[in-house]
Amino acid sequence: MVFEIEERDLAGRTGVLKTRRGEVETPCLMPVINPVKNLISPRELKEKFRFKMIITNAYLILKHFGKDAPDVHSLTGFEGAIMTDSGAYQLLIYGGVETSPQEIVEFQEKIGSDIGVILDTPTGGFASRADAERTVEETIRRAKTSFRLRKDPTMLWAGPIQGGKYLDLIRKSAKEMGKMDFHTHPLGSPVQIMEGYDYTTLVDMIVTAKRNLPPNRPLHLFGAGHPMMLALAVALGCDLFDSAAYALFAKDDRYLTTRGTFRLERLSELPCSCPVCSQHDQKDLLEMPKLEREEALARHNLYATAAEMRAIRQALREGGLWELVEARCRTHPRLYEGFKRLGKYAKYLEENDPVVGKGVRGVFIYDRLSLRRPEVLRHRHRVVENYARPPGKDIGVFIPNPQERPFVKSKEYQEARAILEGSPSHICFYGEPFGVVPSELSETFPLSQYEYTPGSGINIVAEIRRFIDANAYRKVYIVDPSESIFLKGTITLESITQLRGQLDENLA
């Protein structure tokens, strides 16, 4: 088994990708390195920044060193797993490459790549429908041809998914590539989409690819590495990332954070505690010689990106990925549009989100968008579709959510239960954010383990009506805080006594 899934949250997962150079923990970001010259040495990427896998370009190695190029690990000085790209990005940018699909497959095996990529034909973010169809068909054709060229059974291969912004073409590409013997699947052509901050389309692309690929294969989002959007991509199901942003942004004096990108000259403080920012202030960096400043910024950008990947893995393990995604997506309006797009895929997220054994923390509900998280939707669906009231309890008594949680520990519930004891009544709670909560379920996760902002937007009346219709009560009593029977919205002994009197009268 090449990829072993360990824990899940939303559609994200932690896992282990097994390469011949050792195991790589996912979600994982691979820094892109130039095979000839780098600001940060590949050896340092592993020893100081703790990256276990990097990616470099086999085509550039072929161009610079020829067919007799040395092993890619000795060439780079990196002893961990190395993925090599095939030159398809150069094909997208420059319109052509001086190699063939056959040559680049054989060359990647020769230089000892741990994960190779076929020379696909990238769609790009602005391709016409006709051009997009051509790139998908040609990539599939080249993928099929690549199998007869493989000689090394210990090497892993990546089968790229093309189609650009045309979701039906992504669907076709993913289904066809998923039938073939590949180990990972990069989603091609997202860079131009991300450069345009079109996160809504990016969400559509990722979910479409994921839904049509084998679930036991990692999805690699090509060219994605800005720390502010990684959590969203992981939540949708991406396992691998690669990026040269740390170095490219540093050349333009740009400083990466989870809140976005900042021009160094516009900062008055360095909002980070990495080694670079702990040892220098903004003025120090600006006064450095250009190359020295570029290297320092590249280091900061790497630290910021690596820290975010650790934060994502930790949030995923503790069941807090939704909160992290929500926090990150509120840093930029276009990223927030991508977050809102999750509502379209609420069922997809709920299907992939684990029901049991999830996390160690409660659920936070901020507003209407938070109500789309799987835990809320799952309860509201299952309490109607899968739940049945206790036998013989055919009189429904619905009382507002008490302040104390679990609700069954509250004074209001204990008094109601004592007064109604012996009657065929079934006590349920109602209110935000979960709608109807049967008393016997109120201690189950997350019906007691949550914090919320009142007024989040749930239609309580509709939720109660759906629950009542599904359980066919003979009589229903809904205790409404707006009625005179209540005192400041809390249940009193007198009001429940009156209710018991009505029950006894009806039963007689």
Pair of tokens at residue 336: 């927030």
DSSP tally for the chain: helices H, then strands E = 21, 19
pLDDT at 155 over 60: yes
pLDDT band per the 50, 70, 90 thresholds, residue 506: low
What is the structure's pLDDT at 204?
98
What HEC string does 139-185 produce? Answer: HHHHHHHHHHHCCCCCCEEECCECCCCCHHHHHHHHHHHHCCCCCEE
List, for residues 430-462, the tens digit of each pLDDT value. Answer: 999 999 999 999 999 899 999 998 887 788 888
pLDDT at 505: 62
DSSP 213: S
CA 433/CA 96 separation, integer angstroms: 55
Judge contact between 235 and 322, C-beta under 8 A.
Answer: yes
- How many CB atoms lie under 10 A from the CB of residue 160? 29
- What's the CA gap between 30 and 19, in Å, rounded? 14
Average pLDDT over residues 120-140: 94
Q: ω into residue 433 within 30 of 0, thus cis?
A: yes
Mean pLDDT lowest among 87-96, 172-181, 263-272: 87-96
Where do the domains of the chain lie, and which CATH numbers do they carry?
363-507 (3.40.50.10630)
Q: Are 42 and 33 in contact (CB under 8 A)?
A: yes
pLDDT, average across residues 71-82: 96
Secondary structure element (H or E) that encloses residue 117, with its range: strand 115-117
Give the orientation angle of helix 167-178 with respect to helix 199-211, to 10 degrees. Answer: 30
The CB density around residue 494, as the number of other CB atoms within 10 Å, is 10
Residue 286, token pair as written in the block: 């600006």
At residue 494, the pLDDT reads: 46
Pairing of strands 28-31, 22-26: unpaired
pLDDT value at 83 more than 60: yes
DSSP state string for 451-467: EE-S-----HHHHHHHH
**pLDDT at site 489:** 35
- The whole-number average pLDDT for the span 246-251 is 96
Which bin fits 7, alpha (ψ -120 to 50), beta or left (φ > 0)?
A: beta
Phi and psi, residue 263, nearest 5°:
-70, 130
Alpha helix stretches (DSSP H) within 330-410: 333-340, 346-352, 374-385
Read off the pTM: 0.91
Decide: 150 and 157 in contact? Cβ < 8 Å.
Answer: yes
Q: Which helix or strand (DSSP H or E) is residue 89 part of?
A: helix 88-94
500: pLDDT strictly greater than 80: no
pLDDT at 488: 33
Please give the average per-residue pLDDT across 93-115, as a whole number.
Answer: 90
How many Cβ atoms are within 10 Å of 482's Cβ, its own excluded?
A: 7
The residues annotated with a catalytic role in the active site are: 85
- What percent of the chain is modeled with pLDDT above 70? 93
Mean pLDDT, rounded, for 353-365:
78
Q: Give 353's DSSP letter.
A: S
Q: Where are the alpha helices (DSSP H) in 190-342?
A: 191-195, 199-211, 230-236, 245-251, 275-279, 282-287, 290-317, 321-329, 333-340
Span of 211-215, 220-224, 462-466 with lowest mean pLDDT: 462-466
List 158's β-bridge partners, or say none: 117, 184
Paired tokens of 402? 């008490």
Q: What is the pLDDT of residues 229-241, one digit of tens each?
A: 999 999 999 999 9
* pLDDT for res 229: 97
Instruction: Look at 497 and 173; give whichever has higher pLDDT.
Output: 173
Q: What is the pLDDT of residues 269-280, one digit of tens each?
A: 999 999 999 999
pLDDT value at 344 more than 70:
yes
Q: What is the mean pLDDT of residues 42-71?
A: 95
Six-digit token string for 238 = 């991406």
Which H helix or E strand runs over 221?
strand 219-221
Pairing of strands 395-400, 475-478: parallel
| Percentage of the residues of the chain whose pLDDT score is greater than 90 | 79
Query: What are the two backbone dihedrals, phi and then psi, of residue 405, each rounded to the nearest 5 degrees?
Result: -130, 145
Query: What distances in angstroms separate CA 99 from CA 87, 156, 436, 444, one per listed residue?
Result: 9, 21, 63, 60
- Is the pLDDT at 95 greater than 60? The verdict is yes
Residue 26 has pLDDT above 70, yes or no: yes
What does the pLDDT average to over 5-22? 96
Task: Label residue 472 left, alpha or beta by phi (over 0 means left) and psi (-120 to 50 means alpha).
Answer: left
pLDDT at 225 over 50: yes
Backbone angles phi, psi at 415, to 5 degrees: -70, -45
Q: Which residue has the higher pLDDT, 90 or 483?
A: 90
Does the pLDDT at position 498 exceed 60? no
CA distances to 27, 33, 138, 204 from 161, in Å: 19, 23, 11, 14
Question: How far is 374 from 445, CA to CA, in rounded Å?
Answer: 13
Confidence bin at 224 (pLDDT 50/70/90): very high
Q: Answer whether 319's CB lies under 8 Å from 360's CB.
A: yes
